[in-house]
Amino acid sequence: MNYKFVQNILKSETFNDKKISQVKTSDAKRFLIKFQQDGRYYSTVKTVRGVLRPAFQMAVDDDVLMKKPFGFGLAGVVVNDSVTRETITKDQMRKFLKFIHDDNVYCKYYEEV
């Protein structure tokens, strides 16, 4: 995800209609909660906050805001619904590579893997 992605997301949000000087911490929390309730995954919410947080920090640094609206911990606001992925074992990796090596179709990709 990148800044353009976040920018496109924010275009459709009512949060985007507020002037930066009017955004309070409660607005920021409400926005992220609604964002997750609308079906966005935790990682997307975290990414959006990761873009907005420094932008609002710049507003604080430039005396546009007194306080950082996104200066709170994310864990206390939205649910971390991320699923931990398990890595494959060395034995599973060996079997997979052997399959690729021995297969008539996939053998051409063996050197790339």
pLDDT at 35 over 80: yes
This prediction has a pTM of 0.70
pLDDT tens across 100-110, in order? 999 999 999 98
Confidence of residue 32 (pLDDT cuts 50, 70, 90): very high
The average pLDDT across 50-75 equals 94
Long-range contacts of 55-61 (CB under 8 A, 24+ apart): 55/20, 56/20, 56/23, 56/28, 59/20, 59/21
Expressed in percent and rounded to 5, the helix, strand and coil fractions of the chain are 60, 0, 40
Residue whose pair of structure tokens reads 């606001």 in the numeric block:
77
User: What does the alpha-carbon distance between residue 51 and residue 46 come to, in Å, rounded to a whole number?
Assistant: 9
Question: Where in the chain are the domains?
Answer: 3-81, 83-113
Confidence of residue 1 (pLDDT cuts 50, 70, 90): low
